[in-house]
Amino acid sequence: MPAKFHTAIVCTIISLTIGACVARAQQPLAAPTPDQRDARMKWWREARFGMFVHWGLYSGLAGTWDGKPVGTKGGMEWIQQRVKADTDTYAKKAIPLFKPTPDFARQWARLAREAGCRYVVFTSKHHEGFALHDSKVGDYNAGSVLHRDLVKEIVEALHAEGLKVGFYHSVIDWHHDQYAYELSKQLPHPLKGQPYPNGQRDHAKYLDYLHAQVSELMSNYGPIDVLWWDYSSQDFQGDAAWRASDLMKLVRTKQPGIIMNNRLFRIPEAGFTGMGTNAISSQLDPKYGDFITPEQHIPATGMPGVDWETCMTLNTTWGYSDHDHAWKSDETLIRNLIDIASKGGNYLLNIGPKGDGSVPAESVKSMQAIGAWMKINGESIYATTASPFAKLDWGRCTQKKLDGGSTRLYLHVFDWPKDGKLVVPGLASKPVKAVLLADGKALATSVENGGVVVSVPAEAPDKIATVIALDIEGLPKITK
């Protein structure tokens, strides 16, 4: 065949291939079927409990600026915005204080496993803009500054403990010189209200950077289980703000099994009714994300019909602060976990490690206390579904279907009955057996006044929450 024909054919094949790739790239990803989505969400719904980690340059500053406490409550991961520092001034002060020890990540992973967490979501980049991975895009990252890939270190440590891995990634960026903060009145920025320091900005250039770094994170660290976006406003969200649909498509193409939250958007169809952290609704079109993210609170009646996860701090700040001592009690934390599971949600509980990566002693104590309770009672949380009761005066309930068609009700008793009789009001189902979950001790049951009564010891075995496993025939029948 004459060479010129051969070349023409090869060129035709190449151009057809490129055309097909471009066409495929422009096509939206096929929407998953409900079964496909359920399969992807299964491990997350069963996990119920995850550890959040906020760690970045702000951690070394520890809530202090120019030798003075910036505050005793509220997010010290926002310190750059609270002191209104430009990125160069901020970096000069913060970078020398950010000195991760060699084994910091293993400490986090061990603590998460000890606590009974099944997944860990950590900040690959927070609003300050400093990326924890060895990025080839830009120079404000752990690779360029510390010559380490901290994301790699953390992912390997989490996998070594059998934990699922999540990246929190901030679309807000207080470092990048093309991030056009004037496009939003509602999103925070340290220089808000001031003209751009170096003349007009091209936000599209920031978006190219954002997408390139997300592509690195989705390509270079193996299977990633969660992408926790943060955050959008009503006046700056979605495709206009972040090229969100392209970003989600990039992620799902590289990580088909990944689970993402809804925070690239801030519209009613994505589960938002306003700007407050509790301005949320149980309306989520899956094209905007897989779960809704109530923050620092537990929805009173859960969020029926959608997947949801409450994220919460142990004190009042996400990033470490030397000055925040408002630690929640073990009772509050354990009962929060139970309350959330009884409403069918997940609990993402935050630690804020220090600049060297070490975990504050108070946080270790809290997570280990939860772990001690989970070691005995974890089956009443993992892979359970929401309570069949609207309300129980003495505590909460979760449930699990058993082989053979019966149901196990896990009765989490906060207020122990003084008369030795735990009344489960309105439960019309026939009780089969009841035991104390901690030691399997059998408890007598009776049917009285349209409910089930469980005879219990005089003293509560666990003052925070004693769990009774009550097996009933079939599915729960509740009469009131």
Query: Toward ligand FHN, which CB reaches closer, 366 or 377?
Result: 366
Query: Toward ligand FHN, which CB reaches closer, 318 or 410?
Result: 318
Least distance in angstroms from the C-beta of 77 to ligand FHN: 5
Q: Which of these segments, 70-78, 218-226, 248-256, 381-389, binds ligand FHN (CB under 6 A)?
A: 70-78
75 binds ligand FHN (CB under 6 A): yes
77 binds ligand FHN (CB under 6 A): yes
Of residues 378 through 437, those in contact with ligand FHN by CB under 6 A are none
- For the chain, percent helix, then strand, then coil, each to nearest 5? 35, 20, 45
Going residue by residue from 252 to 291, which x/- string records binding to ligand FHN, judged by CB under 6 A? -------------------------x--------------
236 binds ligand FHN (CB under 6 A): no
User: What number of chain residues touch ligand FHN (CB under 6 A)?
Assistant: 9
Taking the C-alpha atoms of residue 456 and residue 454, their distance in angstroms, rounded to an integer, is 6
Taking the C-alpha atoms of residue 303 and residue 57, their distance in angstroms, rounded to an integer, is 35
Q: Which residue of 134, 173, 295, 324 would you call a contact of ligand FHN, by CB under 6 A?
A: 295
Going residue by residue from 306 to 345, which x/- string records binding to ligand FHN, judged by CB under 6 A? -----x------x---------------------------
The beta strand positions in 19-162, using DSSP E, are 49-53, 64-65, 68-69, 119-125
Q: Residue 432: in which H helix or E strand, if any?
A: strand 431-436
CA distance readout (Å), 138 to 130, 134, 171, 322: 10, 10, 16, 31
Contact status, residue 415 vs residue 440, Cβ threshold 8 Å:
no
Residue 311 neighbours by CB distance under 10 Å = 23
Going residue by residue from 117 to 156, which x/- string records binding to ligand FHN, judged by CB under 6 A? ----------------------------------------
User: 269: which 2 tokens?
Assistant: 């169809």
Residue type, 144: S
Contacts of 333 (CB under 8 A, 6+ apart): 314, 349, 366, 369, 370
Q: Which residue of 128, 216, 230, 290 would you call a contact of ligand FHN, by CB under 6 A?
A: 230
Compute the chain's Rg from CA coordinates: 25
Query: Toward ligand FHN, which CB reaches closer, 310 or 429?
Result: 310
Q: Catalog residues that contact ligand FHN under the rule CB under 6 A.
A: 75, 77-78, 230-231, 277, 295, 311, 318
